[in-house]
Amino acid sequence: MEKLVSLAKRRGFVFQSSEIYGGLGSVWDYGPLGVELKKNIKERWWRSMVHEREDIEGLDAAILMHPKVWEASGHVAGFTDPLVDCKHCKNRFRADDPRIKGTPGQPDAQCPACGTKGTLTAPRQFNLMFKTFMGPVEEQAAVIYMRPETAQGIYVNYLNVLQSSRQKIPFGIAQIGKAFRNEITPGNFIFRTREFEQMEMQFFVKPGSEGEWFEFWRAERLKWLQGLGIRAEKMRWHQHEPGELAHYAKDAYDIEYEFPFGWHEFEGIHNRTDFDLKNHQQASGKKLDYLDAATNERFIPYVVETSAGADRTALVVLCDAYREENVEGEGEGGGEQRVVLKLKPSLAPLKAAVFPLVNKDGMPEVARRIYDDLRRRYNVFYDDGGSIGRRYRRQDEAGTPFGITIDGQTTQDQTVTVRDRDTLKQVRVASSGLVEYLKEQLAT
Ligand code: ATP
């Protein structure tokens, strides 16, 4: 994992937040390549969820919401983690922190930070929502929350979307946006952060049909993830035990990935029943039921939710793509070890890099022309620094699928070499056909 974190920094994927001040705990910034990778993942999700489906609408609700939303949703009372404190060193831990030896609250428990025995308190519930104040006065009545999930923005807009889009049940609402949780055992890079992005879709169905839709969405989501190029054997399902279920859920499956630090969830499919809409109807006094015109029945829809973290999905994609390999006979650098991100080309931040073999004999001019032409369509990179082997290695680490080299032959017959990141094979392509060539390669 340290290797991936250091590559992420070196190549400009992810930096620690406020690094020059020593960093801010579990908050990360996306650099030039990271922002592209995450954007590609989000766009792919949006395309498959919203554009390719007639029965799902998009939404972008505000982060700040009426505080009553979080009371009705159960988050004020129930969005908690059990935590224990060390009375000696004042550190705080999740009660299920595997580093804790013994039973917190008992004399045998040992603090994982200072090692003292018997100083850990019994677990206490700690709310994960960030609070702030709205308006000029910092008082209890002005408290509002930074949303801990995007889903509630969908529920409170459910009627607005239904009426304005003229959808009929079953239909869904999808949203991508920031969420905030005051996580106490953060860590593992961008796996668990205090500010993150969710890609959530709430699918509203007739009560009684939620089981079928639950299975439908489980299959769809797995298919989508496989489409990102994630190795199938690195993913598995985990069904929540009754004691594990979130306060709103009746059934839940996580999709887990085998990270370098073990199997962990990165997406969840949840049967949230009518829990949220019923509570909002009761708390707001606004009717949220649905009239089925065909049968004249009124009901509060059930909800099947697919909830993914954009950052965690990006981490999965990065972990899955990271390889260390020996390269045999590739000009300079042959026989060396290389680090390569085998990202699916359509997800890669940079689609191609353009290299003049040497900085003379008209090559830079031709290379610049090709670069200018390509970058009107794709995010591409120009590099004329260092040996060609070194330039390849840098792009391997960035996950750039194609290296386009302009050499002596180019000036004679207008062809260039295109080197494939994964196979290292080189083919000659007419420079006028490069856009078409890339288009084909990036189609999936
Ligand atoms: P965990 O058990 O890891 O805390 P959760 O079960 O609380 O996660 P959900 O509330 O189901 O997670 O959130 C859905 C998705 O949002 C998760 O699968 C994950 O991808 C993402 N997510 C949740 N919390 C975080 C976080 N602190 N940092 C990054 N991503 C997160």
Of the candidates 382, 361, 383, the one whose C-alpha atom is nearest the C-alpha of residue 371 is: 382
DSSP state of 302: E
Are the CB atoms for 371 and 343 separated by under 8 Å?
no
Are the CB atoms for 432 and 414 separated by under 8 Å?
yes
Give residue 273 CA to ligand 1 midpoint distance, Å.
Answer: 20
Bridge partners of 64, per DSSP, are 146
Q: Which is it for strands 143-146 and 130-133: parallel, antiparallel or unpaired?
A: antiparallel
Return the pLDDT at 205: 98
Is the whole-model pTM more than 0.85?
yes
Q: What is the pLDDT of residues 267-312, one digit of tens each?
A: 999 999 999 999 999 999 999 999 999 999 999 999 999 999 999 9
Query: Is the pLDDT confidence value at 333 over 70?
Result: no
Query: Is the pLDDT confidence value at 439 over 90?
Result: yes
Which residue's alpha carbon is nearest to atom 3 within ligand 1? Answer: 265
Q: Among 307, 315, 318, say which to mutate for ligand 1: greatest number of ligand atoms within 8 Å of CB.
A: 307
Which residue's alpha carbon is nearest to atom 1 within ligand 1? Answer: 265
Q: Among 312, 313, 315, say which to mutate for ligand 1: greatest number of ligand atoms within 8 Å of CB.
A: 312
Structure tokens at 122: 């019994």
Alpha helix segments (H runs only) across 61-173:
67-72, 75-78, 151-155, 158-165
Write the DSSP assignment of 340-402 as a string of letters.
EE---TTT-S-SEEEEESSS-TTHHHHHHHHHHHHTTTS-EEE--SS-HHHHHHHHHHHT--E
Which residue's alpha carbon is nearest to atom 24 within ligand 1? Answer: 192
Are the CB atoms for 77 and 83 separated by under 8 Å?
no
Which residue's alpha carbon is nearest to atom 19 within ligand 1? Answer: 309
Bridge partners of 263, per DSSP, are 258
Q: What is the pLDDT of residues 221-238, one digit of tens each?
A: 999 999 999 999 999 999
Give residue 393 CA to ligand 1 midpoint distance, Å.
Answer: 34
CA 293 to chain centre: 39
Return the pLDDT at 94: 87
Cα end-to-end distance, the chain, whole Å: 29
In the three-class reduction of DSSP (H, G, I as helix; E, B as strand; rest coil), residue 59 is classed as strand
Share of the chain above pLDDT 90, in %: 90
Return the pLDDT at 186: 63
Give residue 309 CA to ligand 1 midpoint distance, Å.
Answer: 7
Q: Which atom of ligand 1 is nearest to the CA of 198?
A: 16
Structure tokens at 309: 């973290």
Return the pLDDT at 98: 84
Of the candidates 202, 249, 204, the one whose C-alpha atom is nearest the C-alpha of residue 78 is: 249
Q: Which is it for strands 337-341 and 14-16: parallel, antiparallel or unpaired?
A: unpaired
Q: Which H or E run includes 214? A: helix 210-227
Return the pLDDT at 190: 96
Q: What is the pLDDT of residues 345-386, one digit of tens each?
A: 999 999 999 999 999 999 999 999 999 999 999 999 999 999
* Sign of torsion over alpha carbons 206, 211, 216, 221: positive
CB-defined site of ligand 1, < 6 Å:
181, 183, 192-193, 196, 198, 265-268, 307-309, 311-312
Which residue's alpha carbon is nearest to atom 10 within ligand 1? Answer: 149
156 Rama sector, left if φ>0, alpha if ψ -120 to 50, beta otherwise: alpha
Q: Which atom of ligand 1 is nearest to the CA of 307?
A: 14
Please state, in angstroms and rounded to a whole number, the distance separating the CA atoms of residues 309 and 217: 16
Share of the chain above pLDDT 70, in %: 98
Of the candidates 321, 339, 188, the one whose C-alpha atom is nearest the C-alpha of residue 261 is: 188
Query: Is the pLDDT confidence value at 316 over 70?
Result: yes
Q: Provide the b/e sequence for 101-114 (b: ≥16 CB within 10 Å).
A: eeebeeeebbbbee
Are the CB atoms for 381 and 353 separated by under 8 Å?
yes
Give residue 198 CA to ligand 1 midpoint distance, Å.
Answer: 8
In the three-class reduction of DSSP (H, G, I as helix; E, B as strand; rest coil), residue 240 is classed as coil
Please state, in angstroms and rounded to a whole number, the distance separating the CA atoms of residues 193 and 184: 10
Compute φ and ψ for 293, nearest 5 degrees: -65, -30
Which residue's alpha carbon is nearest to atom 2 within ligand 1? Answer: 265
Are the CB atoms for 433 and 439 separated by under 8 Å?
no
Q: What is the pLDDT of residues 62-83, one digit of tens each?
A: 999 999 999 999 999 999 989 9
Give residue 195 CA to ligand 1 midpoint distance, Å.
Answer: 11
DSSP state of 122: P
Give residue 331 CA to ligand 1 midpoint distance, Å.
Answer: 45
Structure tokens at 1: 């994992």
Give residue 149 CA to ligand 1 midpoint distance, Å.
Answer: 9
Mean pLDDT of 191-204: 97
Are the CB atoms for 130 and 146 separated by under 8 Å?
yes
Are the CB atoms for 435 and 391 separated by under 8 Å?
no
Give residue 238 CA to ligand 1 midpoint distance, Å.
Answer: 14
Please state, in angstroms and rounded to a whole number, the distance separating the CA atoms of residues 311 and 317: 10
Give residue 299 CA to ligand 1 midpoint distance, Å.
Answer: 30
DSSP state of 118: S
Q: Among 182, 265, 305, say which to mutate for ligand 1: greatest number of ligand atoms within 8 Å of CB.
A: 265
